Amino acid sequence: MYHMHHYSNKLYARLQEVSARSEWKEFRAYLNTTTDDTPEIRELKPFVDQQYKEADKLVIQLNNFAIDHVVPMEWREY
C-alpha cells in the first residue's frame, strides 16, 4: 500500500481526483511527459501504470458482461 502523505501537494491532489480508467490514463500521460524527475515521480509511475491496467481490465470485464447480457449501447459509458 502506498502512503500518500509524502507526496507533494500537487501530486497528492491529482491522485485524489483519479477514479476512472480515463483519469488514470491521463495521469499516466502526465507523469510520462513531465520534465520533473523527482523520486516521487519515479515512484508513482509504476503505481499509476498498474492502476490504469487494473482499471482497463475492469472495463473489459464490464464490457463482456454487457455483451453477454445484451445491454443496449446507449446505457454503457466508457
If pLDDT is split at 50, 70 and 90, which confidence band does 70 have?
A: confident
Q: What is the pLDDT of residue 48?
A: 93
Rounded Cα distance, 66 and 76, in Å: 8
Compare 8 and 64 and report the one with higher pLDDT: 64
Q: What does the domain layout of the chain look like in residue ranges?
A: 19-72
CB proximity list for 68: less than 8 A, separation 6 or greater: none
Q: What pTM was computed for the model?
A: 0.68
9-61 pLDDT per residue, tens: 666 666 665 678 888 999 999 999 998 889 999 999 999 999 999 888 888 88
The answer to whether 48 and 34 are in contact (CB under 8 A) is no
